[in-house]
Structure 1
Amino acid sequence: MQFSIKAVAAILAAITNIASVSAEGATAPEDSAVVKLTEATFKDFIANNPYVLAEFFAPWCGHCKKLGPEFASAADSLVETNPDIKLAQIDCTEDRDLCAQFDIRGYPTLKVFKGEAAPPSDYAGQRQSDSIINYMVKLTLPAVQVFDDTAVLEKTVEALAEPLVLQVLPEGVEKSSSNETFYQVADKLRESFTFGTTSDPKYVAEYAKSAKKPAYVIFRNGEDAEDASVYKGKDIDEESELLIDFIDVESKPLFGEITGATYQSYTSANIPLAYYFYSTAEERDAADPFIKKLARKYRGEINFVGLDASQFGMHAQNLNMKEEFPLFVVHDLEGNKKYGIDQSTPLDNNAIAQFVQKFKAGKLEPIVKSEPIPEVQNSTVYHLVGAEHEKVVKSGKDVFVKYYAPWCGHCKRLAPIYEELADLYEGKDVVIAEIDHTLNDVESVDIKGYPTLVLFPADGSEPIYYEDARSLEAMANFIKESGSLKIDALVDEEDEEEVKETAAAETISETTEKAETTAPAAEADAHDEL
């Protein structure tokens, strides 16, 4: 699957710019329930407490300052309701060795400890107080909660903080292999979802009345029970991936929200993502009914999300749209193509349904972002643009392309070496090209970092990603060994030097021979004259 790291960068950059928290916010107040741990106290504390969420942080870290008040609030609440759960902080500017022991590479890093014997796991929840509390409390409960009381189950569904995956068991199937598979899936995904099981007659009658096997229902937080999704696939007996795939798709809300916390889950779903950018809560509320109607129709085929333009409006540029809101755009993640409603006139919400229908029918042209095709190439490094990317990489030559971003430090360091590489292949059937990925769309290339170096062999075979040292010799050897034409530019260069050296040597030799030939003659002439 391909997705743009530019989009990720835009989301994260926007989140960083949200109103800052006070400098004191990173470190929990002295009177909070957050425990300050050091290298001297850490081991014993973990050994004596069954559930610990540890925050490895730095006082100067902006994200730590944002998390600090939420972390302290969660700790203060848990000490009252779940005293077995402890929240702790480790200042990595003071206890560097302890942080290095757990391979802490960024701040804040949150890890869950369940006693000294078990290895820690990464905290996978959101970073608000309620989410932290819910996440940690779940760890103290069984992977699957048993609901025997209808009233308790209904209240649970009404007050969900995250999706509930409910197994509805008809009479006589409790011991089936499907039941065992469900528990395995629940244990694997328990940190992201709530799992429950019930044989309540009301739920059996509604979801598994005529079934001779368990039914699986997903209730989503913030939505009515009537919008719940029911699994209708093959038996999951010993095929847990069937249920996992169902949960991955159906756990998304009908009209969700894109934030830094949810972006990855949507992009990894590998189905098109339809964005509704809004400037005000009123705009989003107005779009809610018809967007949900579309979401029900295309459930499992397209995910629909809202995006707050006041925070993340710059993401419109990554989708080849102008920052003019509201707007609607569909991102085909698999092909990395963007389809947006024309922005020359204000967005008409009534046009969205027809636009989505045309998208599904393949009747829309994607918006391709590209610099103009250069009229003249002013360097041995070929300046490639999106509009001619496919033409150039399929030109019948070995084409080595650098995908870069102007702000990338590694790209800047590589630039002079890359120019030397291009000089090396001048006049040969190898194209050394570069493309500014922030200004140009490309297909068939998975860009996960800058610079990304890719060789497109002349025979049209699959592109080959370069992962070796970024030296002139290493890149030239890679082109020789992986390219279709097997051109060895380093040998050619050595041969040219050899020819020059040989020619120079021959010139010296000829001059010497002439001198030697002329000298005796002169001597003879002189002798004759004498």
Structure 2
Amino acid sequence: MSSKSRLRFMSIGFFLFILLSTPLLIKANESEVGDEDLDGLEELLAAEKEEEEALKDQGDKFSEAEIVKRAQAIVVELNNDNTERIVGSNEYVLVMGYATWCARSAELMPHFAQAANSLKEMGSSLVLAKVDAERYSKAATFLGVKGFPTLLLFVNGTAQPYTGGFTGEELVIWATKKTGAPVVRLSSKVEAQKFLNKHQTFVIGLFENFEVPSHEEFVKAAISNNDIQFVETSDVKVAEILYPGIPSKSSFVGFVKSEPEKFVAFEGALKEELILKFTEENKFPLVTVLTELNAPRVYGSLTNLQVFIFAEVDDYQSLLPFLQNVARKFKSKIMFIYVDPAEENLAKPILSLFGLETEEPIALSHDYKHGLKYLLDSKLTMSSLEEFCSGLLSGTLLPFYKSEPVSENNDIVQKVVGKTFDIVVLENTQNVLLEVYTPWCINCDVTSKQVEKLAKYFKGQPDLIFARIDASTNEHPKLQVDDFPTLLFYPAGDKSNPIKVPTKSSLKELAASISKRIRGEGRESSKDQIKDEL
């Protein structure tokens, strides 16, 4: 054997020895592993398991995103070239006009896509389409898109305004009612279970047969209502899937929702108007959380009295049980609405109306019909809220008028706030010239300078006071002014009939007018006086 052959043979032999002895080495090492090493290994395995679960969660989220993406692909993209053809060649087309910069459009888009997906699964012939109204202005004009977002239903090319809700389920309900049967009829438990998996809120009707007058009234109500899905069956066992414990009656109507009062039975004569009233009273939760999407429905509710609760999210969760208890007591009479102060688009308009900021939970109400506001001026508790609501219903609550804090001022033109209006203006025995202004008023600065000059000119006049009030932050029931700036002269002897002084007069004319008022000359009836001076 040559030296090269011997060397190759030795190398192969050494390799085989290592290969065969490796399992023995591993076995020996395993037998030497201590408890501490096992503990460390268990920790490592636990960490790996957590990572796997985290990855799985990410995968689930990705899948949801893919579902939305696929749903959005179902929505037809309209442009200047295809809009007229698509709308004209389909019996039903639901169009969403949007703008890329519009936050509400962005919020609605996934719900619109979800509705498109659901309607496709149902086999609906309705086409859902969207148009970027700013990019395709010609198409937007043809469709009649004037704001963002805009929803329009085209039936054989003729547009109808959308009047439903804005969640995926609400879009589907409205669309199916307008393009198909207003009531879903179920004949098996399997159908009932599938329906229950898709709908959280609905009105159920159980009828021995569908030829009775009460069923006709039920269908009329379903057609008139655009928000809630109506479902019917003649089989008690099928109905029990949707409404457990449903009474075995020849005709029964009930409301189902995901609330503490999940099942509510209708009582009374089965008439269209009464079923609609029952539906309206039950369609909202005991306490409704205000969102951009449900705001139109909330403000358009038939419940005239609304109480708004403002509180941080954590505080709201702790308040919710007693809020629901109070809401239950005043159900159908007062609507309770929670607003998160962090949602500025929703909270700021209401809080600004009251001139308030939220540091602690507050409750307030606004009577839109009479323009009156009410504020719970004590700590928000179950008893204080009940008392507030009782007073609201009985009309015994004192209206709230916003006011800046009272402060010392020695200016030549006195600052008046809501809380000092009575003392400075109405109860004062002197004549008062009051300037009513707002910070955003363009012409108010000119009038303010004129008032200051007049105050200096009449300085030392014992029976005359010059004052001003910021109408944007102060209110009083006897100060109703809509035009700014406004000058009002309150005569010492008749504070209930202030005289409107023209703000466009020259300084000399204003001074002459005030001197005349102080002397009490030329005082005709208030109406004639105002007319002459204007």
Shorter-chain TM-score range: 0.5 to 0.7
Q: Are the aligned partners of 1:166 and 1:196 in contact in 2 as well (CA < 8 Å)?
A: yes
Question: Which residue number corresponds to residue 271 of structure 1?
Answer: 305
AA in 1 matched with 2:75:
V
Q: Are the aligned partners of 1:47 and 1:115 in contact in 2 as well (CA < 8 Å)?
A: yes
Match of 1:217 among 210, 230, 254: 254
CA–CA distance in 1 between the matches of 2:139 and 2:259? 41
CA–CA distance in 2 between the matches of 1:185 and 1:460? 55
Q: Are the aligned partners of 2:378 and 2:384 in contact in 1 as well (CA < 8 Å)?
A: no
Match of 2:329 among 297, 300, 303: 297
1:487 matched to 2:530? The reply is: yes
CA drift at 1:339: 0.9
CA–CA distance in 2 between the matches of 1:189 and 1:490? 54
Match of 1:337 among 374, 385, 388: 374
AA in 1 matched with 2:374:
K
Question: Which residue number corresponds to residue 212 of structure 2?
Answer: 174
RMSD: 5.6
Q: Are the aligned partners of 1:330 and 1:339 in contact in 2 as well (CA < 8 Å)?
A: yes
Q: Are the aligned partners of 1:277 and 1:309 in contact in 2 as well (CA < 8 Å)?
A: yes
CA–CA distance in 2 between the matches of 1:421 and 1:246? 60
Match of 1:58 among 89, 92, 99: 99
Task: Map 1:3-152 onto structure 2 (within 5 A).
Answer: 32-72=73-113, 74-75=115-116, 78-79=119-120, 81-82=122-123, 84-116=125-157, 118-122=158-162, 124-126=164-166, 128-129=167-168, 131-149=170-188, 152=191
Identity, % of aligned positions: 19
Q: Are the aligned partners of 1:317 and 1:323 in contact in 2 as well (CA < 8 Å)?
A: no
How does the TM-score come out when normalised to structure 2?
A: 0.59
Match of 1:370 among 384, 391, 403: 403
SS in 2 for 1:356: helix
Unaligned stretches of 5+ in structure 1? 1-27, 462-470, 474-481, 492-530
Question: Which residue number corresponds to residue 261 of structure 1?
Answer: 293
CA–CA distance in 1 between the matches of 2:126 and 2:145? 22
How does the TM-score come out when normalised to structure 1?
A: 0.59
CA–CA distance in 2 between the matches of 1:133 and 1:387? 52
CA-to-aligned-CA distance 1:315-363 (integer Å, 9 cap, x gap): 66656665335x2414253532111543xxxx7xxx3245414541578
Question: Which residue number corresponds to residue 323 of structure 1?
Answer: 358
Count of aligned pairs: 420
Task: Map 1:316-465 onto structure 2 (within 5 A).
Answer: 322-325=357-360, 327-333=361-367, 335-342=372-379, 351-357=381-387, 359-361=389-391, 368-372=401-405, 385-387=417-419, 406=439, 412-413=441-442, 415=444, 435-437=470-472, 439-441=473-475
AA in 2 matched with 1:369:
K
CA drift at 1:189: 2.2
AA in 2 matched with 1:254:
L
AA in 2 matched with 1:488:
K
SS in 2 for 1:412: coil
CA-to-aligned-CA distance 1:204-227 (integer Å, 9 cap, x gap): 9956859xxx6543323445533x
